[in-house]
Homo-oligomer: A and B are copies of this chain.
Amino acid sequence: MPRPTVRDVAKAAGVSLATVDRVLNGRNGVRSTTQARVLAAMKKLDYERDIMAANLSKQREYRLAFVLPTGSNTFMREIEAEVEQLRKTFERARVRLQIITAPAFDGRALAETLDRLDPCEIDGVALVATDAPEITAAIEKLRANGINVVTLVSDLPTSPREHFVGIDNVVAGRTAAGLLGRFCSGRRGSVAVVAGSMMLRDHAERRSGFDQVMRDEYPQLNVLETIEGYDEADRVEDLLSAHLRQHRDVVGIYSIGAGNRGVARTVPRMDLSPRPFVVVHELTKYARAELLSGVFDAVINQDVGHEIRSAVRVLTALIDGRPIVKAQERIRVEIFMRYNLP
């Protein structure tokens, strides 16, 4: 019992190949009763279009754009490098990738970049969203132009993006709290929190998850207000140093994102005793080094390779009108310590 083809459907429905084709590809000129007969036959035979044959025939190309923030953010640059590296692999599957950058921490500039995308040249977009109304509008415009849109790493659930590729950041924050809380078991004192900007939805969500668990399960730990470093190592260093001088009882540090280098520079210099436990996000080359050197205790990570492959799978499925395999597309919250570095 090989899988059924259009021929089988045509035979079963008592119509010609041409008619099945018209139904299948939504061309007009088919009476609704005939269409119903064809659809019934497809259902009865459990017919599924052979995507490979279809793409071969169609000579389809998937032209996808990744829109990333510019700047020195190591994590973003690693995404960029990974896209470059995967480009050739994807071209074998007729997927062409393009990287487009837009100024970080600047909603208007990102919106303008999105507006400039030409629907004739792009079939799908994966973007690192920032939480601003103009982005929502830009995504709406893209969708209206027939471009499929997914968000990457940082979501914008109020927009009509069709999927989010990234971790559940509230869960990530809860995980950080679970680790830091257990690491500090027995101690009491303060926990410092460093982020890039609370305007970034992913950072805000992590903080919220972190606070939930800290409040409920580790009330003996006093979570301090967030330091916003805007991805500038010097700024993080200044603010965090001042913070640590002011709060001599810091036993743990949570770096929510975009500030790892600053934290790594500050902690050893302050010569604290006992050494605070440090949990950070994103296993960049810096984070890896600090894990090995013992400055960082755990890194919470999202696998960049998985995310890019997931974004490509989801976008091509959306373009084809295929269903998305949810279980396959869930991005894991990974935890690394120096013992399980890849």
Within the complex, what minimum Cβ distance (angstroms) separates A341 from chain B? 8
Interface size on A, residues (CB 8 A): 41
| Chain A 323-342 interface mask (CB, 8 Å, partner B; 1/0) | 00101101011110111101
Contact with B along A137-179 (1 / 0, CB 8 A): 0000000000000000000000000000000000110110111
Contact call A305/B328, Cβ cutoff below 8 A: yes
Interface residue A22 (Cβ < 8 Å from any Cβ of B): no
Q: Is A51 an interface residue (CB 8 A)?
A: yes
**A303 proximal to B (CB < 8 A):** yes
Give bound CA distance, A172 to B309, whole Å: 25
| Contact pick for A213, options B179, B332, B339, CB 8 Å | B339
- CB-CB < 8 A to A177: which residues of B? 339
Of all chain B residues, the one with the shortest Cβ separation from A325 is: B89
Given the complex, which residues of B lie within 8 Å of A340, measured CB to CB?
Answer: 171-172, 174-175, 178, 333, 335
Give the chain B neighbours of A91 by CB distance below 8 A: 3
Q: Is A56 an interface residue (CB 8 A)?
A: yes
> How many angstroms between the C-alpha atoms of A305 and B306 in the bound complex?
14
Listed in ascending order, the chain A residues whose CB lies under 8 Å from chain B are: 3, 48, 50-53, 55-56, 89, 91-92, 171-172, 174-175, 177-179, 182-183, 185-186, 209, 213, 297, 303, 305, 309, 325, 327-328, 330, 332-335, 337-340, 342
Partner of A332, one of B89, B185, B330, B334: B334
Residues of B contacting A171 with CB < 8 Å?
Answer: 339-340
User: Could you tell me the distance in whole angstroms from the C-beta of A119 to the nearest C-beta in chain B?
Assistant: 21
Q: Are the C-beta atoms of A339 and B185 separated by less than 8 Å?
A: no
Residue in B178, B305, B338 whose CB lies within 8 Å of A339 = B178
